[in-house]
């Protein structure tokens, strides 16, 4: 293993991936918070409702080409469906969302 080059260093000397490295997306939340509960409910709902999982998968496939060029457009393109599914997931668990804002998984 070799030391990262200066070109691979972020401010403060933090190593970062070379520009040609595949993009990675890391989603981190604090356990028990609304974003965490939304995330768990969302995926539990999709596992319990394969038809909705197929809708979500189809939307992601439609938007996939944006991942490399415009991640914000990709996220925005999923937002309405994600919000709808989060509401359905909350209703299905008998819980309510306290803020009305969707957290995109």
Whether residue 73 contacts residue 65, with contact meaning beta carbons closer than 8 Å, is answered with no
Average pLDDT, the chain: 79
Q: How confident is the model at residue 19 (pLDDT cuts 50, 70, 90)?
A: low
**DSSP β-bridge partners for residue 14:** 10
Q: What's the predicted TM-score (pTM) here?
A: 0.66
Whether residue 63 contacts residue 20, with contact meaning beta carbons closer than 8 Å, is answered with no
- Domain membership of residue 58 (yes or no) is yes
Expressed as residue numbers, the domain containing 32 is 25-105
- Domain membership of residue 33 (yes or no) is yes
- Domain membership of residue 99 (yes or no) is yes
- Looking at the 3D structure of the chain, how many domains does it have? 1
Q: What is the pLDDT of residues 27-71, one digit of tens each?
A: 889 999 989 999 999 999 999 999 999 999 999 999 999 988 888
- Domain membership of residue 91 (yes or no) is yes
């Amino acid at each position: 293993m070799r030391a990262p080059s200066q070109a691979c260093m972020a401010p403060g000397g933090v190593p970062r991936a070379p520009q040609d490295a595949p993009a990675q997306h890391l989603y981190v939340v604090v356990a028990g918070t609304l974003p965490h509960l939304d995330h768990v409910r969302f995926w539990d709902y999709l596992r319990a409702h394969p038809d909705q999982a197929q809708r979500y998968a189809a939307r992601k496939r439609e938007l996939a080409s944006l991942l490399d060029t415009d991640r914000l457009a990709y996220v925005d393109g999923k937002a309405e469906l994600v919000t709808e599914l989060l509401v359905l997931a909350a209703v299905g668990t008998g819980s309510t969302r306290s803020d009305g804002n969707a957290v995109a998984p």
